[in-house]
Amino acid sequence: MRVELLCTGDELVTGLITDTNSPWFEARLFELGVKVERILLVGDVRPDITQALLEVASRADVALVSGGLGPTMDDFTLECAAAAAGVPMVEDPRALEWLRERYAKRNVSISAGALRMARVPQGAEVVRNPVGSAPLVIMRLGRCRLFFVPGVPREYMALAEGEVLPRIRAALESDPERVYLAFRLLKTVGIAESMLDAKVAPLVPQHPQVVFGFRTHAPENHLKLMATASTQAEANAALAAAEVASRQVLGTAIFGADGEEYAPVMAKLLTRAGATLSLAESCTGGLIAQQLTSVAGSSTFFIGGAVSYSEKMKMAWVGVPAEVLARHTAVSRETAVAMAEGVRAACGTTYALSVTGYAGPTGGTPEDPVGTVYSALAAEGRPTHCERFSLTGDRDRVRLFAAISALELLRQRLLAGSSAP
Amino acid sequence: MRVELLCTGDELVTGLITDTNSPWFEARLFELGVKVERILLVGDVRPDITQALLEVASRADVALVSGGLGPTMDDFTLECAAAAAGVPMVEDPRALEWLRERYAKRNVSISAGALRMARVPQGAEVVRNPVGSAPLVIMRLGRCRLFFVPGVPREYMALAEGEVLPRIRAALESDPERVYLAFRLLKTVGIAESMLDAKVAPLVPQHPQVVFGFRTHAPENHLKLMATASTQAEANAALAAAEVASRQVLGTAIFGADGEEYAPVMAKLLTRAGATLSLAESCTGGLIAQQLTSVAGSSTFFIGGAVSYSEKMKMAWVGVPAEVLARHTAVSRETAVAMAEGVRAACGTTYALSVTGYAGPTGGTPEDPVGTVYSALAAEGRPTHCERFSLTGDRDRVRLFAAISALELLRQRLLAGSSAP
C-alpha cells in the first residue's frame, strides 16, 4: 500500500511551526508495516494545494491531508479537493447538524465562517470529530483514498488514531501485496559512523531480508535494522538473526535499543550494582551531573558533583594537592587522577569520575592542544584508571564527547564487573 | 524566486526523526522575503529520490537537498542526482584533498566508505564543509540550482548559513519582484506567552506595516516583529518604531534580540560588572553550571559549582548546618539561603546562586508539592534574597524553569545595579 502525507499551511513553509504530526503518524503506520513514501508540505496557495492533491492521488493508494479545514478565509483545502475532483462543494446535512450541536452545547451562536466547515466536495463521506468542529472528510480521487483532517495536533491525532488508522488496518488485511516489517534500533557510543559501517558491512549479504541503516546522533551512532517478509513471524525471525549478528560484532559499544537512552541505562547499571557515584568536572562544567540527574530517582546513586572550574575549588572541594597543580597544571593526568580520588573520598562513593581538559576555543599547550581531555575513574579497592582523549570540533562538541568518554569508562567497568565469574 | 526543499532519509518518513532543519531554513529565507513553496520528504529509495530531484528541478529556481551525503551505503543522494542529470560520478580532487586533510588531522586512516564523500556528479561544484567531512555540492539540473548539504543539523546549518544563503541573497539582489522585509526577534524570560500577547496587543494597530508574532521556546518566549515595505529603508524604519514600543512595554523581561542567547548575555553582564559567581545546585543537578560554562571564557567569572545532591554534600561542600536540614528539610527557604551563602563563602565570589526543590515525578510534601523550588541569591554586603517558585510540568520542565528562575534573580540584580546612579 502506497501512503503519502500532504500538509498544508503557510506556517509550515515559513518556519513558524515544525510539523510534528507527520512523524507521529509515520511511526504509527510503520508499526503496521507501512513506510510512508512521501511527505509534502505546501503553503496556503490554492493552485499549489490543488496541484499537490492531483500529484499525490496519481501515485498513492491512501493519502492523509492535513490543515486548511477551519473557519477562516485561509482554510480552503476542501475547495481545492473539489476542484481537483471536478465536483461542486455541497453542504453536508450531518456535518451541519454536528456543528449546530457543538455550538449550541457551548452556547455560542454559529458564525458564517463556522458554517463553511459543513461544506464538503460532493460525494465525500464525513465522520464526526470528537474533539473539534471540522469533521474528517473522506473522498476518492482517481484510485486514491484521501483522508482530510485538521492540522491542530490534538484533532489530527484523535481522528488519525480513531478513524484513519482503523480504516488503513482493515484495507491492509485484504492487501495481497502486504509486506510485514520488523524493526530494531541499536544505539552505540565510542565508535565512529564509518567504523560502525565497516564492522557491519560483512553481515549485510548474510541477511538479505534486512536493511542496515546508520544514523548519527552525536555523541551516539545508531544502527537501524529493518526486516521485510511476507509474514510477521518471518520478519521477526530475520530481524532477530541480524540483531544477534550485529551485537556480536559491536559488543558493548551498544548501550541500548529502540527507545532506550544513555543516562537511564547508566542509572540502571549503577542501581543494579548497588553502587554510588560522585563527579569532579572541570571542562564539562556540570554537563555529566546534569545528564545523570535528569533521570528520575538519580538521588539513589548520585551523591554529589563538584564543578571545580578554578584551581582553588579543585583544591578545596576535591583535594587536588597544590603541588600537583603547580607541577602538572590543571589539565593533566595527575590532576584528573587526584580529582577522581579526591571527590570519591569527599563523597564516600563506590565510584568517582573526573574530567579536565581544554574545551576551547582558546587555551591548550603544544603537547595538549584544545580538545585534549583527561578523564579518570576511581573505584573502591582498584587502582584509578585515567585516559587521555583527543577530541575535535567546537566547544560544545568537545564538552559533549568529553562527557560521554568519561561515562564510558564507568559503563565499560560496570559491564566488565557484571560479566565477571 | 521559487525555492523548494527536498529532505531524504528513511528516518524522516518512518517517524524516527522530526525534520527541524527545514523550519530553520524556511525562517532564514523568509527573512529575505522568500516563502518556500514546497518541502518534500522522501525515504532512502533510489528511484524515489531521483524522481523527486527531477520534479523539484522542473519547478524551482533553487532547491536545497539534504541527507544522504555520508560515508555509508544508504548515502546515495548524489548518485541519484547524477542519474537525474545523466552524468557520471567522478572523484573531485579538491574534495578528496579536504577529506585526506581532515582524517590526517584526527590521525584516522581514511576508509573506502569515507572516500565516497569525494565523489560527485560530473560538473558539480564543491565547497568545503567547515564542520564535517561531506562537502557542499552545487549543480544545475535544467534551470534549477541544486544545493546538496548533509542532514546532520550542525553541518546543515553551518553550510546553509555560511554558503547557501549568501548565494541566494546575491541572486535576490537582481530579482525585480523583490519585497523588502525587516525582522527583529525580541527574546523574553519570566513572562508567559499569553501575558506577552496581552502586553503587545495594544501596539498592533499603531504599527500597520509590522506583523507581531509569538513563539515559545521554553523557558523563553519570543516576540517576532516583521516589517514589510517597498524599500529597505522604509521597512527598517517601521521595524525600529515597533521595536521601541515593544521594549517600552516589556522592559527587562527582554534579555536579548535576534541571535543573542541567554547564557552569553549573562556572561557579558557578569564580566562587565567585574563580578564572579558560584553555584550550589540541588534539583537542577548541574544544569545551571553547564549552561554558564558552555560560554567560551566563562572561567573569568565562574569559580565553582557544587551539585550537592545529597544532604551530606550540602553540609560538606556548601556548609549547610545539619540543624537547618533537620529542622527545615533540604527543600526549604532556610536551606536555599544557607546553600547560597555557604557556596559564596567557599568560593569567595561576588555572587552565589542556589537552587533546591522537588523536580519530580515523586517527592514533595503537602505544603511543598512537586514543582516547588527555592532559589537564593547571596551577594557581597547585601542581605540574601530568596524566592519560592511553583513550577508545573514534568521533571525536565521543572528543572529548566528552576534554572532560569534562579538565573533571573541574578540578571535582574545586575541590571538594577548597572542602572543605579
Q: What is the pLDDT of residues B336-360, one digit of tens each?
A: 999 999 999 999 999 999 999 999 9
Whether residue B10 and residue A39 make contact (CB cut-off 8 A), yes or no, is no
pLDDT value of position A144: 97
H-run or E-run covering B353? strand B351-357
Nearest to A317 among B26, B279, B304 (CB): B304
Annotate A94-126 with b (16+ C-beta within 10 A) or e (fewer): ebbebbeebbeeeeeebeeebbbbbbbbeebeb
For chain B, domains (ranges, CATH) are 3-173 (3.40.980.10), 180-257 (3.30.70.2860), 262-419 (3.90.950.20)
Residue A372 pairs with which residues in a beta bridge?
A390
Residue A190 has which C-alpha cell?
565510542
CA distance B126 to B121: 10
Beta strands in B250-310 (DSSP E): 254-257, 277-281, 302-307
Residue A162 has pLDDT above 50, yes or no: yes
Residue B310 one-letter amino acid? S
Q: Which of A175-179, B125-129, B198-202 has the lowest mean pLDDT?
A: A175-179
Contact B402, B390 (CB under 8 A): no
CA distance B19 to B376: 40
Mean pLDDT of A97-119: 88
Residue B420 has pLDDT above 60, yes or no: no
Bridging pattern class, strands B62-66 and B144-149 = parallel
| Cα dihedral value A325, A330, A336, A341, nearest 10 | 40
Residue A421 has pLDDT above 80, yes or no: no
* pTM assigned to the model: 0.80
Contact B68, B117 (CB under 8 A): no
Chain A residues closer than 8 Å to B308 by CB? 304
At residue A151, what are phi and psi to the nearest 5 degrees?
A: -85, -20
Radius of gyration, CA atoms only, chain A = 29
pLDDT value of position A196: 94
Chain B residues closer than 8 Å to A218 by CB? 152, 154
Chain A residues closer than 8 Å to B215 by CB? 16
Mean pLDDT of A397-411: 98
Residue of B nearest to A31 (CA): B14
Mutate: best of B317, B329, B394, B397, partner A, most A CBs <10 A: B317
Chain B closest CA to A94's CA: distance in Å? Answer: 35
Share the mean pLDDT of chain A.
94
CA-based diameter of chain B, in Å? 80
Nearest to A38 among B42, B306, B307 (CB): B42
Whether residue A26 and residue B13 make contact (CB cut-off 8 A), yes or no, is yes
Share of chain A above pLDDT 70, in %: 99
pLDDT value of position A418: 64
At residue B398, what are phi and psi to the nearest 5 degrees?
A: -60, -45
Cα end-to-end distance, chain B, whole Å: 53
Share of chain A above pLDDT 90, in %: 82
Mutate: best of A32, A156, A261, A290, partner B, most B CBs <10 A: A290
Residue A93 has which C-alpha cell?
446535512
Residue A45 has pLDDT above 50, yes or no: yes
Mutate: best of B18, B290, B300, B350, partner A, most A CBs <10 A: B290
Whether residue B72 and residue A194 make contact (CB cut-off 8 A), yes or no, is yes
Mutate: best of B5, B26, B222, B225, partner A, most A CBs <10 A: B26
| Residue B419: pLDDT band with limits 50, 70, 90 | low
Q: What is the pLDDT of residues B20-30, one digit of tens each?
A: 999 999 999 98
Q: What is the pLDDT of residues A18-40, one digit of tens each?
A: 999 999 999 999 888 889 999 99
Whether residue A299 and residue B316 make contact (CB cut-off 8 A), yes or no, is no
| Residue A78: pLDDT band with limits 50, 70, 90 | very high
Whether residue A204 and residue B73 make contact (CB cut-off 8 A), yes or no, is yes
Chain B residues closer than 8 Å to A192 by CB? 108
Chain B residues closer than 8 Å to A364 by CB? none
Mean pLDDT of A213-227: 91
Whether residue B23 and residue A16 make contact (CB cut-off 8 A), yes or no, is yes
Residue A270 has which C-alpha cell?
549503577
Nearest to B71 among A10, A29, A194 (CB): A194
Chain A residues closer than 8 Å to B286 by CB? 281, 285-290, 293, 305, 307
Chain A residues closer than 8 Å to B293 by CB? 284-286, 307, 309, 399
Q: What is the pLDDT of residues B257-276, one digit of tens each?
A: 988 999 999 999 999 999 99
Chain A closest CA to B101's CA: distance in Å? Answer: 13
Q: What is the pLDDT of residues B200-243, one digit of tens each?
A: 999 999 999 998 887 778 899 999 898 989 888 999 999 999 99
Nearest to B40 among A28, A38, A392 (CB): A38
Chain A closest CA to B421's CA: distance in Å? Answer: 33
Residue of A nearest to B37 (CA): A42
Mutate: best of B41, B156, B400, partner A, most A CBs <10 A: B41
At residue B247, what are phi and psi to the nearest 5 degrees?
A: -65, -35
Chain B closest CA to A306's CA: distance in Å? Answer: 5
Residue B74 has pLDDT above 90, yes or no: no
Q: How far is CA B338 from the centre of its chain?
A: 34
Beta strands in B243-301 (DSSP E): 254-257, 277-281
Residue B46 has which C-alpha cell?
533510489
Residue A179 has pLDDT above 90, yes or no: no
Nearest to B296 among A294, A317, A361 (CB): A361
pLDDT value of position B216: 75
Whether residue A317 and residue B296 make contact (CB cut-off 8 A), yes or no, is no
Q: Determine the 3-state secondary structure of B81 from DSSP.
A: helix
CA distance A228 to A240: 12
pLDDT value of position A420: 44
Mutate: best of A22, A215, A339, A355, partner B, most B CBs <10 A: A215
Bridging pattern class, strands A254-257 and A180-189 = antiparallel
Mean pLDDT of A151-171: 94
Whether residue A35 and residue B43 make contact (CB cut-off 8 A), yes or no, is yes
User: Given CA atoms A275, A280, A282, A287 in this order, what sign does their dihedral have?
Assistant: positive
Chain B residues closer than 8 Å to A14 by CB? 26-27, 30, 35-36
Residue B421 has pLDDT above 50, yes or no: no
| Residue A339: pLDDT band with limits 50, 70, 90 | very high
Residue B156, judged by CB atoms within 10 A of its CB (0-12, 13-18, 19+), counts as buried
Chain A closest CA to B348's CA: distance in Å? Answer: 10
Q: What number is the ipTM of this complex? A: 0.79
Whether residue B290 and residue A308 make contact (CB cut-off 8 A), yes or no, is no
Chain A residues closer than 8 Å to B13 by CB? 26, 35-39
Give the Cβ contact number of residue A34 at 10 Å.
23
